[in-house]
Amino acid sequence: MLSSRRTHVLTRVLAAAVTLAVAATLAAGCGKSDPTTGADGKTVLRYQGQTGQVTAFELAADLGYFDKIQLHWESDSTSGPANIQAAATRQIEFGSAFNGAVVKLIAGGAAVTSVLGSYGADEKSFTGYFVRDDSGITSARDLIGKKIGVNTLGAHHEFITKEWLHRQGLSEHEIQQVQFVVLPPVSTEDALRKGQIDVAALGSVFRDTAIERGGLHPLFTDKDIFGTFDYGTYVFRDDFIDRHPDAVRDFVQGTARATRWLQVTPRDEVVARFDAIIRKRGRNENTDLLKFWKSSSIPVPGGVVDERELQIWIDWLVRSGELPDGKLKAEDLYTNKDNPYANGTYPPASGPTGEAVAAK
């Protein structure tokens, strides 16, 4: 396994490489053509999906909430940071990631804007950071020199863990001694049980099945730290927003309504709809994970973005020395202007979209 210092250095090197790659590709892609227009005149938005799962925008398309756009699946995403990098480098039109990763991408020079909440933690859906019952780990200080299994570096799991360690009183030097090990979510629980890691970040089906098998308990959860909270957003490139405002507006209003549909619709109806969507799209996917679906995970009606959901990670990056103080302001990184729920009223998910007044 990598040492803590080597992991920390590698993370910074990778971040720098990503920044350079984004800048280079953006410069090279300036002359690329705009998205294609379908036979019906709708703007085609390319995207990356998630195998065996249905996103809010895919649901919106199935519910008939889009008028001016149609979706085109390119591939499945490997991680949030990779997804928004693909959007920034014009491989797709939009992406979704943890807000800390969004802030880092923008700090690295990518011209993107958050337009809608994409995932979070509510009372039913959240991530737990699990230890073995016999591990002897009971506090943050016990994690110095230990290994934590996460799905990718520089994203939700790493940020949340470091924030918890900071709040528990560890210094930046002590936090740097905690090692993050990248593992596929499907393998993380097994690595914990075999003693290959000391803590496992487990969410959704992976958390639920681990609890069923017993022998593990959460040391902390993301919900413990922030309560119910939106953690991620959908982003579009700024130049795309400027050239295709109607397409972005349609994406936001439709996806917001689909998010609200998920928030108010009985679970069994949601799961049945997801099952039908997955079968119709014909990607040879396994639908077994649907039985573990609990909620949208987004606590805010319609996925309206709150400034603090970005500011908290700006502050985190400043505190850790990865971002100069004052370089970014959260208010410049997002907009709610196209979200029909931004005025604080909640039109029916299946009814008229309403008008987003008093929005940023």
Which CATH number fits the domain that encloses residue 101? 3.40.190.10
- ∠ CA 126-113-350, rounded to 5°: 60
81 Cβ partners below 8 Å, 6+ apart? 18, 97, 98, 101, 104, 105, 152, 154, 155
Residue 252 and residue 312 share a domain: yes
Q: Answer yes or no: is 355 within a domain.
A: no
In the chain, the number of structural domains is 2
Report the predicted TM-score, pTM, of the whole model to 2 decimal places: 0.80
Residue 220 and residue 132 share a domain: yes
Residue 295 and residue 258 share a domain: yes
Residue 171 and residue 107 share a domain: no
Q: What integer pLDDT is reported at residue 23 of this predicted model? A: 43
Residue 234 and residue 221 share a domain: no
Domain boundary among 172, 198, 226: 226
Q: Answer yes or no: is 25 within a domain.
A: no
Residue 131 and residue 218 share a domain: yes
**Least confident span in 115-124, 148-157, 241-250, 303-312:** 148-157
CA-based nearest residue to 337, from 354, 353, 352, 357: 357
Query: What strands lie across the sheet with 229-237, from one edge to the other?
Result: 94-98, 229-237, 112-121
Judging by beta carbons within 10 Å of its beta carbon (0-12, 13-18, 19+), is residue 314 exposed, middle or buried? Answer: buried
Domain boundary among 194, 226, 258: 226
In which domain, by residue range, is 237 found? 43-120+229-332
User: Can you give the C-alpha Rg of the chain in angstroms?
Assistant: 20
Q: What integer pLDDT is reported at residue 151 of this predicted model? A: 87
Residue 237 and residue 116 share a domain: yes
Residue 79 and residue 60 share a domain: yes
Residue 324 and residue 239 share a domain: yes
CA-based nearest residue to 260, from 145, 201, 342: 342
* C-alpha span between 255 and 57 (Å, rounded): 5
Per cent of the chain over pLDDT 70 is 86
Compute the average pLDDT of residues 127-156.
94
Residue 235 and residue 200 share a domain: no
